[in-house]
Chains A and B, each alone.
Chain A
Amino acid sequence: MAGAHSAQTLVESGLKVCMLDVGYADDYYKKITPKDDFCSIRKNNKNQHEIFLGKYFESIQLGGVKIGAQLTPGRSHLIKDINKYLPVVSDTFSPYESLAYGGLGSGWGAGAFTFSNPELKAMGLDKTEFEKAYNVINSRIGISGERDDSSPFCNDKLANLQSPVKLDSNSSKIYEKYLRNRSKVNNLDVYLGRSNLAVLTEDFNGREKLKYREMSFYDDHGESVYRPWMTVNVLLEKDNFVYQPGILVTSFSEKETYVEVRSIDTKTNEQKIFKCKKLVLASGVLSTARIVLRSADSHEKLPLLCNPYTYLPTMNFSRIAKPIESQRTSLSQLFMFYDKYRNNMDVSTCSFYSYRSLLSFRIIKEMPLAMRDSRLLMRYLLPALTIIGIHHPERGSDFKYLCLDKDDSKMTGDILRISYKLSCEETHENRSREKVITKALFKLGLIPLTKETPGMGASIHYCGTLPFSNEERLFTLGFDGKLMGSKNVFVADSSGFKYLPSKGITLTLMANAHNIASKIIEKRGFD
């Protein structure tokens, strides 16, 4: 996300940009997945097992619920070679990283949230800059949503919105119930609204509006759901942009007039060196930390932030055994916010998903009944099943950090060690928030069946390793994104954010990348 949007801003200003990327892409599933909707594929496609389970059954995840359990075959390239090139050791944190073309954004749920002024301030970001930047990104990617009770929490800084995605019958029931019981729910400081998504409901920039195929977790046909590779594809047509795939950047060193970038060619595993006038790191928080620590040959502990994440499979009883429409979206259709302090700060966020396209077996294997009995029951429950993903806000502490340890057995000669522990107070706070959220869900007619906490790292929202700072301190960033102690190295991803709101970070990540690139352009002293 950050790489694509910083590159776009730089390229549009006329600068010459070279993007170094490993860039794994899916060549197989894209070809075998038809443009039909989910129901048509289910009814007619004889080879659907490859689409839904994978050529090597990689989507049948046996064992307990793990991070990435929802990863479909068409997205499995997102985590290709992660253990080889981006090794991590941790007992307390299971991160999600990607070497894919377009990065982790290829698996993004498309939730697009603007942050409130108190949130931006706590993150170390300027509200005026971000009001502009959010709209620049909106004009690039297209965002759909509604002005409703959720607006202060997700879209009040966006000038234009496409109309929201159509609600399916399950989400409609929930939303209708909210409108009927609004004051009771609001009394809990909980607000519900239509989802704000980077999904087109009108044709836009050569991309098609959403066709409600319910295949968004599997393919990108029609390009209605924004993915960063779409931006890179557009940039590839520009004369001042060069894309260098198969390159894993490992470290850099600053010379008198240029920056030397060291890398591994992933096809040959040989080292390659590139030279540039300015280096913009946008590799994702963990990989950027690796590159910076490796370049400084440092074992320093860097802070890390990640949203605590829980999900609740819930039952909308009014929908049990009801028919499901054939055309709908698998993306979140409703957002809910718990504004505990009534100041749009430290808000907890819930995303509602109607479940079907990821198939029933993933749920059935977790049910406390024989699989045959669970299957019989699941036919009744599926139309009513609503998955609620809950994210909590997060601040740093001494118990949340990463560092780079030497390990000669690894390709890069090191391994990222992560320790992440919530304090008792933090855990208690999150539980008490979940109790209030559960109360609100009851008022919406949703009965939680169980609570799954997949462990830290599961939210896939990371930040804070190189916090923004006014001081000239190593391993911090200036407010222009410049790495302290360097002259020409900038960081455009979320490494600088000092606070992590619960709302999805992705839109702000893109806006920040645009801002950093704009500041580089403003201050540039080179051709």
Chain B
Amino acid sequence: MSIDEDRVSIKIPSNEAIKLASYLVGKPIGHEVTIRYEMAVQIKQVSLNSHEQRVWNLMLSYSLILTSVDSYLALTDRNCPIRKRICIMLAILEAHPNYISSFYFKRPQFIDHMNLLFSLFTTPFKVVLGILIIKLY
């Protein structure tokens, strides 16, 4: 496979990779991960239309909105460009030795159970908030 030479350049906000990594694994990332993410978005040509871009900018500003819109889209439009960008970052983080503990654990701790339960129990609220943002914004 080679990079498509006809691809268009996609504008990516400088804090996008950092925000996404913080949302997905709650850890800071190095410059190499940022570069890798931006390269992948360009190669995969994951561009956003004007409405998606507005929502995306809002998502990157508030982590509650990021998780809410993601929760809503996971149910309604799993393969939309916004989810594709999040997926790219997830794949890049997973394929990096620094974040291995975010994807596997030897033995879950009490805090892991609480974290998971909180995330799952708040999902309906996040979905509702996601609907409001997508429909109203």
Q: B residues 45-87 with Cβ under 8 Å of A?
A: 46, 67-68, 70-71, 74-75, 78-79, 83-84, 86-87
Q: Identify the closest chain B residue to A63 (Cβ).
A: B79
Interface digits, A320-338 against B, CB 8 Å rule (1 contact, 0 not)?
Answer: 0101100000000000000
Question: Is there contact, CB below 8 Å, between A49 and B1?
Answer: no
Question: Do A371 and B1 touch across chains, with their CB atoms under 8 A apart?
Answer: no
Given the complex, which residues of A lie within 8 Å of B90, measured CB to CB?
361, 364-365, 371, 375
* A380 interfacial by beta-carbon distance below 8 Å: yes
Contacts of B115 in A (CB 8 A): 376
> Given known contacts A42-B97, A371-B90, is B83 in contact with A57 (CB within 8 Å)?
no
Q: Looking at the complex, which one of A60, A321, A372, A380 makes contact with B91 (CB distance below 8 Å)?
A: A60
Choose among B79, B106, B126 the residue that contacts A64 (Cβ–Cβ < 8 A).
B79
| A370-B71 contact in complex given A42-B97, A42-B100, A376-B116, C-beta closer than 8 Å | yes
> Does the CB pair B88–A56 fall under 8 Å?
no
* A44 to chain B: closest residue by CB: B97
CA distance A361 to B92 in the complex (A): 9
Give complex CA distance A54, B40 in Å: 10
**Are A60 and B40 in contact, CB atoms less than 8 angstroms apart?**
yes
B91-A359 in contact (CB<8A)? yes
Contacts of A295 in B (CB 8 A): none
Q: Are A371 and B112 in contact (CB under 8 A)?
A: no
**Which residues of the other chain, B, contact A370 by a CB distance below 8 angstroms?**
67-68, 70-71, 74, 119, 123, 126
Evaluate contact between B104 and A371: CB separation under 8 angstroms.
no
- A372 & B70 in contact (Cβ 8 Å cutoff): yes
Q: Tell me whether B110 is interfacial, beta carbon within 8 Å.
A: no
- The answer for the CA separation of A361 and B104 in the assembled complex, in Å, is 12
The residues of B that contact A62 with a CB separation of less than 8 Å are 44, 46, 79, 84, 87-88
Q: Evaluate contact between B43 and A56: CB separation under 8 angstroms.
A: yes
Proximity string of chain B (95-109) to chain A, C-beta cutoff 8 Å, 1 when within and 0 when not: 111001011111110
Given A373-B119, A379-B103, A57 and B97 contact (CB-CB distance below 8 Å): no
In the assembled complex, the Cα of A371 lies from the Cα of B66 at a distance in Å of 10
Most buried by A among B39, B79, B90: B90
List, in ascending order, chain B residues with CB within 8 A of A76's CB: 1
B120 and A49 contacting across the interface, CB-CB below 8 Å = no
Interchain CB contact under 8 A, A361 and B119? no
A57 touching B74 by the CB < 8 A rule?
A: no
Whether A324 lies near B104 (C-beta < 8 A) is yes
A53 / chain B contacts, CB cutoff of 8 Å: 91-92, 95
A372 to B99, CA, bound (A): 13
Complex Cα–Cα for A54 and B24 (A):
21
Q: How far is the CA of A321 from the CA of B48 in the complex (A)?
A: 37
| A42-B97, A49-B36, A366-B78 as given contacts; A375 in contact with B103, CB under 8 Å | yes
Interface residues on B, range: 35 or more
B74, A380: Cβ atoms closer than 8 Å: no
The binding surface of chain B is classed by DSSP as helix
A505: interface (CB < 8 Å)? no
Q: Return chain B residues, CB-CB under 8 Å to A15.
A: none
* A379 pairs with B105, CB closer than 8 A: yes
B8 located at the interface, meaning its Cβ lies under 8 Å from any Cβ of chain A in the complex: no
Minimum Cβ distance to chain B for residue A361 (Å) = 4
User: Across the interface, which residues of B come within 8 angstroms of A366, CB to CB?
Assistant: 78
With CB as the reference atom, state the residue of chain B lying closest to A361. Answer: B91
Known A49-B36, A372-B70, A377-B120; judge A56-B2 contact (CB<8 A). yes
What is the minimal beta-carbon distance from B71 to any residue of chain A, in angstroms? 4
Question: A60-B91, A371-B74 are known contacts. Are A379 and B123 too (CB-CB below 8 A)?
Answer: no
Contacts of B40 in A (CB 8 A): 57, 60
- The CA of A375 and the CA of B39, in the complex, are separated in Å by 23
- Least CB distance, B101 to chain A, in whole angstroms: 9
Q: Pick the contact of B24 from A51, A365, A368, A375 — CB < 8 Å?
A: A375
A134 within 8 Å of B (CB atoms): no
Q: Does B134 contact A (CB under 8 A)?
A: no
A interface footprint on B18-48 (CB within 8 Å = 1, 0 otherwise): 0000011100000000001001100110100
Which chain A positions have C-beta within 8 A of B84? Answer: 62-63
Q: Does B3 contact A (CB under 8 A)?
A: yes
Q: How far is the CA of A56 from the CA of B40 in the complex (A)?
A: 7
Chain A residue contacts of B119, Cβ below 8 A: 370, 372-373, 376-377
In the complex, A382 Cα to B126 Cα: how many Å?
25
B1 CB contacts on chain A under 8 angstroms: 54, 56, 58, 76, 80
Minimum C-beta distance from B96 to chain A (A)? 7
Q: Is the CB of B96 within 8 A of A48?
A: yes
Chain B residues near A57: list those with CB within 8 A.
39-40, 43-44, 88, 91
Give residues in B with beta carbon < 8 Å to A.
Answer: 1-3, 23-25, 36, 39-40, 43-44, 46, 67-68, 70-71, 74-75, 78-79, 83-84, 86-88, 90-92, 94-97, 100, 102-108, 112, 115-116, 119-120, 123, 126
A-B contact pairs, 14 of them (CB 8 A): A48-B96, A49-B92, A49-B95, A57-B88, A62-B88, A359-B91, A365-B78, A366-B78, A370-B68, A370-B126, A372-B119, A376-B112, A376-B116, A377-B116
A interface list, Cβ under 8 A from B: 42-46, 48-49, 51-54, 56-58, 60, 62-64, 76, 80, 321, 323-324, 359-361, 364-380, 382
With A49-B36, A369-B71 known, 16 other A-B pairs at CB within 8 A are A49-B96, A53-B92, A57-B40, A57-B44, A60-B87, A321-B105, A323-B107, A365-B87, A370-B126, A371-B83, A372-B23, A372-B70, A374-B74, A375-B25, A379-B104, A382-B103
